[in-house]
Amino acid sequence: MKVLDLQCPASHVFEGWFGSEDDFQGQLARGLIECPVCGDKQVSKKLTAARLNFGAGRAQEGGAAQPGASSGGQPGPGASPSAAAPAAEGMPVAMQAAWMKAVRHVMANTEDVGERFAQEARRIHYGESEERGIRGQASPEETRELLEEGIGVLPLPVPKGMKGPLQ
């Protein structure tokens, strides 16, 4: 199994698991790999440090084993590449993770009304339908009209992979 660090042109970094390099190249050529954040299919491999698994982590002073760390507090040979990276480099990844968490929350706590979004938002706003969280699709013109009517809406791009049933 090959675990690759991948990146789209918008600098979203994500991980992909493949049976082999040929498997990765084949999926890439067929357009089967896309960024889970923005859906871009122009994906490239990032340089990845070798990852060696020397077995289960060993118990360390005063606590449980921490895989990938050596006793000196520096990342060991099994550490992920980001473990040794400065904190500033981890910021975009942290922001990406926070955004994905927010999208998951919205998806789990709202009703998908699809193309009927503008109509259902109006019905809720004017008391014709029960108040609840909804999500769906609206054209830029429909969104502008809703805002002009004082109906608060917020565009939220949802990664394609999160629009269907989640595993």
Q: What is the pLDDT of residues 22-45, one digit of tens each?
A: 999 999 999 999 888 888 899 999
Give the pLDDT score at 94: 77
Residue 167 binned pLDDT confidence (cut-offs 50, 70, 90): very low
Q: Tell me if the pTM is above 0.85.
A: no
Distance from C-alpha of 140 to C-alpha of 127, rounded to nearest angstrom: 24
State yes or no: pLDDT of 51 exceeds 70. no
Residue 162 binned pLDDT confidence (cut-offs 50, 70, 90): low
Residue 147 binned pLDDT confidence (cut-offs 50, 70, 90): very high
Give the pLDDT score at 156: 79
Element (H, E) at 3: strand 2-7
For residue 38, CA distances in Å to 2, 48, 73 come to: 23, 22, 36
Query: Hey, is 90 helix, strand or coil?
Result: helix
Task: Tell me the per-residue pLDDT of 58-72, one tens digit each, with 9 for 90 and over.
Answer: 544 444 443 333 333
* Strand blocks (E) in 22-137: 44-45, 111-114, 134-136
- Complete edge-to-edge strand list for the sheet that includes strand 44-45: 13-18, 2-7, 44-45
Q: What is the mean pLDDT of the chain?
A: 76
Residue 157 binned pLDDT confidence (cut-offs 50, 70, 90): confident
Give the pLDDT score at 80: 39
**Average pLDDT score over residue span 75-81:** 38
**Average pLDDT score over residue span 120-143:** 93
